[in-house]
Structure 1
Amino acid sequence: MSTPFRQFQAFHAIMERGTVTAAAAHLGISQPAISNLLAQLERRTKLKLFERRRGRLVPTPEAAVLFDEIDTIVRGLDHVNQAVADLQNRTAGQLQVATNHALAFGFIPAEIAAFCELRPNLTLAMQSQYSGKIQEWVAAGLYEIGICERPILHEGLEERRFTFETLCAIPNSAGLSDHAWVTPADLDDYPFIIMGADHMVTRRTREAFHANGAHFRVRCHTDLFRNALNLVKQGLGAAMIDPFTLASDDGEGYVVRRLNPTVHLDIVIVTRRDRPISVVGQEFLDQIIPRMEKIATDTMQDRIEA
């Protein structure tokens, strides 16, 4: 069964933007047109994609599955349209970067701003996403540069690996401000906020506790280092946090201490192995790689209170 792409595009916009109004503005068409496209898609697919509750559209489980399947396709067409526009306007290149959330809060926007300062005609495509999706986008050619966590899930990707020390953020109320370092024994049975049971930082922290005979007590799971740090600031527990998230935070409500033994986070820059990188992309990498290398060797001592 053939389904017109415009219907998928309207559905994708509603899912991504959250409302019909925002989707219509994004696609540059009227709200009734968006609603009509969605109704056509539901009739064609014989799927109920949204529940209408109190005037709001709530995606059904079927909508979530469909969105995952068409996301890369819709973004691919947007990518083609942007390339055509760049060629028509003779734009001097486009920087395409997909980054994980930790670097998206401060580091990458600042680097992009510095990069664009001498390139006023440069167009940009920047997106933050989870690491698996970033690798999918780079492998599909939607983004030229991806910055994400290991492991590498797609063949055909070149990787440049960086290893960063994570630091332990502890609520002020924990009474550990006089420690220059903390150990698993210091935090035995203390509540922790973690990045999911299978995340590399969680696994490595748990291993450090077990190796030192301390109980690693998990109080809360979350999906972003930023969320974990915000929960620390509310006094709910400690968390191992990456240096990028710490650098973009105000530092209020908690202390930061190095954990002995150290727990590391592996981040990679990925590009497609079978496609030469553009001049613009290589220049951006030449800018950010030395800065990431410096952060990788920096223990963030300036964030640690004496």
Structure 2
Amino acid sequence: MAIRFRQLQAFHAIYESGTVTGAALVLGISQPGVSNLISQLEREAKFKLFARVRGRLIPTPEAGVLYREVDTVVRGLDHVGQAITDLQNKQGGQLQVASQHALSFGFMPRLIAQFAENRPDMSISFQSQYSSKIQEWVVAGLFEIGVCEAPLLYDELDAHPFSLEMVVALHPENPLTRHSVLTPEVLAGEPLIAMGPDHMSHRRTREAFDTAGVPWTVRVHSHLFKNVLSFVQEGMGVAILDPLLLQHEKAGGFVTRPFRPRIMMDNIVVTSRDRPMSALGRAFLEVLLEEIEKSCS
């Protein structure tokens, strides 16, 4: 039996609309084209599918049985077609992004939410993690895009570097807020909230104080910028932090000041060098890099 899917589509469309005219509109073909497809299907099936009653096509009992089988197939292929269209338009699929902790509390969720606004069928896989783990995940194919701190650890990755100028966060009631710019000399004796000794920001801040010949006092060490900021909000000291974290912190409880000499935070956006990205991933990467460029300018 040489039944073609287009014949089943015509049958399905007539069964649901009740007219050849309605089926033609659904399928985007002429009314004679629909009638011809139904005639072909009836010849193959060797039984009538519709009877014309007062200008309307009434399904035969055999057509009712056939419809129940055909409905799942036709709707399933319609879903496949819609999925292909969504992928072509970058509307469907899964966005897979991993980010360092500092950007995962405001910057990345906001950007992903904006990207997803007109993509209701897109699913999202997002995780925050330490930078070395993020690079490992992208190499392994668990995520398409990673945003993390430098340096690049794997030759299998492509990197888009960007640097952010760190700023000082202080409690609003700290007397040092009277200064428009803070330096090691101004911060002499002020308790600092800092990342651990191995972190880039810790090393570069220490170098700035050492070069100025100013001793520094670290009151609290922590492993996340978000935790460091929480101690600042409690009035326990000042901290030199990633500006993107601070821009998206809604709780308040701090003010910021520039620090001199400048302390830069080196970051990278990583993707796999060996594995092709999805159209959705490429579209988000473009948006991400544009937003980062604006934040760095």
TM range (shorter): 0.5 to 0.7
Give, in whole Å, the separation in 1 of the partners of 2:162 and 2:99.
14
Give SS of 2:187's match: coil
Give, in whole Å, the separation in 1 of the partners of 2:148 and 2:118.
27
Give SS of 1:132's match: helix
Give SS of 2:124's match: strand
Give, in whole Å, the separation in 1 of the partners of 2:186 and 2:243.
22
Give SS of 1:172's match: coil
Give SS of 2:160's match: strand
Which letter maps to 1:97? V
Query: Is structure 2 residue 128 aligned with structure 1 residue 128?
Result: yes
Kindly provide the CA deviation profile for residues 212-254 of structure 1, in whole angstroms up to 9, marking residues without a partner as x. 1111211111011111011011111111111121012236333
Give, in whole Å, the separation in 1 of the partners of 2:244 and 2:267.
11
The answer (yes or no) to whether the contact 2:160–2:269 under 8 Å persists in 1 is yes
Give, in whole Å, the separation in 2 of the partners of 1:283 and 1:164.
23
Partner of 1:148: 148
Give, in whole Å, the separation in 1 of the partners of 2:97 and 2:254.
32
Partner of 1:289: 289
Partner of 1:220: 220
Change (3 A) 1:144 1:177: same
Which letter maps to 1:185? E
Structure 1, 169-178 or 105-114: larger mean CA deviation: 169-178
Partner of 2:239: 239
Structure 1 residue ranges (4+ consecutive) displaced by more than 6 angstroms after TM superposition = none
**Equivalence map 1:26-175=2 (5 Å):** 90=83, 92-175=92-175
Which letter maps to 1:96? Q
Give, in whole Å, the separation in 2 of the partners of 1:233 and 1:147.
26
Kindly provide the CA deviation profile for residues 234-286 of structure 1, in whole angstroms up to 9, marking residues without a partner as x. 11111111112101223633321100101111111001111122111110011
Partner of 2:13: none
CA deviation after TM superposition for structure 1 residue 295, in Å: 0.8
Give SS of 2:176's match: coil
Partner of 1:208: 208
The answer (yes or no) to whether the contact 2:162–2:266 under 8 Å persists in 1 is yes
TM normalised by structure 1 equals 0.66
Partner of 1:263: 263
Kindly provide the CA deviation profile for residues 202-221 of structure 1, in whole angstroms up to 9, marking residues without a partner as x. 11111111111111211111
Query: Is structure 2 residue 260 aligned with structure 1 residue 250?
Result: no
Give, in whole Å, the separation in 2 of the partners of 1:158 and 1:121.
29
Give, in whole Å, the separation in 1 of the partners of 2:93 and 2:140.
19
Give, in whole Å, the separation in 2 of the partners of 1:108 and 1:264.
20
Give, in whole Å, the separation in 2 of the partners of 1:104 and 1:280.
20
Give, in whole Å, the separation in 1 of the partners of 2:269 and 2:252.
31
Kindly provide the CA deviation profile for residues 172-200 of structure 1, in whole angstroms up to 9, marking residues without a partner as x. 34311221101100011211111110111
CA deviation after TM superposition for structure 1 residue 141, in Å: 0.6
Give SS of 1:124's match: strand
Partner of 1:179: 179
Give, in whole Å, the separation in 2 of the partners of 1:170 and 1:261.
18
Give, in whole Å, the separation in 2 of the partners of 1:219 and 1:117.
43
Which letter maps to 2:123? T
Identity %, equivalent residues: 45
What is the Cα-based RMSD across aligned positions, in Å?
2.0
The answer (yes or no) to whether the contact 2:184–2:212 under 8 Å persists in 1 is yes
Give SS of 1:182's match: coil
Give SS of 2:264's match: strand
Which letter maps to 1:231? F
Give, in whole Å, the separation in 2 of the partners of 1:115 and 1:252.
26
